[in-house]
Amino acid sequence: MNGKLVDYRDPRAIAAGGRTQWRIAHSPCVIEDAKQNKCSLRKPDGALLENCHIEDMLLLPEGSMDLESKKKALVFDEDDVELVRQDRKSLGELVDEPPDEGPPGLKKSRAKLVL
């Protein structure tokens, strides 16, 4: 288990800064030393947390990365094509157009609006 990436939730409300949305209660850590149900964790800033219980951790997949901390600009190509389905009409267009006659023998009161 050593070297695996986990998401650690500090069980102490005051130490984690309370339970408000702008305070960090979760942090990604790397397992340094695991013994039974306790382990030592290394935080990204280099701090070592000791005697952390396994129940306060989530094991993260191998290829996971923190996308929120990356400040990478999102760039779109100029030649992107907008995908629009021309065969489907909106409800407003269907209401505005005159109803077609339909097959012979169809009563107008039973005509269905098909999307």
Would the pLDDT of 12 be above 90? no
Would the pLDDT of 19 be above 90? no
Alpha-carbon separation of residue 35 from 6, 38, 54, 69 (angstroms):
16, 5, 10, 31
Q: How far apart are CA 31 and CA 5, in angstroms?
A: 7
Of 13, 42, 38, nearest to 25 (Cα)? 13
pLDDT at 59: 92
Q: What is the mean pLDDT of residues 51-61?
A: 91
Q: What are 39's two structure tokens?
A: 């382990």
Q: pTM for this structure?
A: 0.49
